[in-house]
A = this chain, B = another copy of it.
């Protein structure tokens, strides 16, 4: 075993990926991390796939500047629409949030009825239902786009009565009333978890694909022998946003229960260019 102190880079369209960071810090306290949220261009969900690929590639290149040892797509939309392409372009491990969520959902269901909620882009990609049915054809999967969830989180209203109303109005559209497992197929949704659990009832298991992803990150750190074996992170966390550092910091501090988190603004125009040439698959 050798020790690799390099940080891990996380990207998301906004603050949602912080739900992955929360679990990452808990499970892997010796690892350092960087995070970039592309709030200026969120939400990614309704955008065309090509644009999501271009944005995710810009964020990946931004993270690579910091000598990261792994990049985590802490964003379901980017995982569904851009990860397979970008994995071919870099020589460090790229981890997405969807396969761990798929595995966890298949393990969790008892009656074989799984529901998936996600952004328009994630649902349109069929990344979850396609993978679940490929691995376990006997399982019935129903999906629902929940386009109002990301904006309510990003506007820091996820504790509000408005959020409760939006959650109820959205989830009542779930087509299969028999599901016993619901995949939170967007990293923003765990911030709404208490409201979602309350609406669904205790008998429904919520799958937080972000938490599951950290188990995969841990496995890959061992597999590639790139774990940090020193005690504690060897560099302080760095948080970046293309939007407002103030609002990003408020949500980050509330969610991670940490204070004085340094948040740096990065202008979209200062991100590495993605001219599309290298993106041709």
Binding site for B on A (CB under 8 A): 1, 3, 27, 30, 93, 95, 99-100, 102-103, 107, 130-131, 134-135, 137, 215-216, 218-220, 222-223, 227, 229, 231
Q: In the complex, A135 Cα to B229 Cα: how many Å?
A: 6
Assuming A227-B135, A229-B135, is B130 touching A218 (CB within 8 A)? no
* A229→B99 contact, CB < 8 A: no
- A sample of 20 cross-chain residue pairs with beta-carbon separation below 8 angstroms, ordered by A number, consists of A1-B130, A3-B134, A27-B107, A30-B135, A93-B223, A95-B223, A99-B219, A99-B223, A102-B222, A103-B218, A103-B219, A134-B227, A135-B227, A135-B229, A137-B231, A215-B219, A216-B219, A216-B223, A219-B219, A219-B220
Q: In the complex, A95 Cα to B223 Cα: how many Å?
A: 8
Q: Nearest chain-B residue to A230 (Cβ)?
A: B134
When distances are taken between beta carbons in the complex, the residues of chain B under 8 Å from A27 are 107
Q: A1-B134, A30-B135, A103-B219 are in contact. List 16 more A-B contacts (CB 8 A).
A: A1-B130, A1-B131, A3-B134, A99-B219, A99-B222, A100-B219, A102-B222, A103-B218, A103-B222, A134-B227, A134-B229, A215-B215, A215-B219, A219-B219, A219-B220, A220-B223
Q: Which 5 A-B pairs have the closest CB atoms?
A: A99-B222, A134-B229, A216-B219, A219-B219, A137-B231
Q: In the complex, A227 Cα to B106 Cα: how many Å?
A: 15
- Chain B nearest Cβ from A34, distance in angstroms: 21
When distances are taken between beta carbons in the complex, the residues of chain B under 8 Å from A137 are 231
When distances are taken between beta carbons in the complex, the residues of chain B under 8 Å from A3 are 134
When distances are taken between beta carbons in the complex, the residues of chain B under 8 Å from A100 are 219
When distances are taken between beta carbons in the complex, the residues of chain B under 8 Å from A30 are 135
Q: In the complex, A231 Cα to B137 Cα: how many Å?
A: 7
Q: Nearest chain-B residue to A232 (Cβ)?
A: B137
Q: In the complex, A137 Cα to B3 Cα: how many Å?
A: 14
Interface centre among A1, A131, A220, A227 (most CB of B within 10 A): A1
When distances are taken between beta carbons in the complex, the residues of chain B under 8 Å from A134 are 1, 3, 227, 229
Q: Nearest chain-B residue to A28 (Cβ)?
A: B135
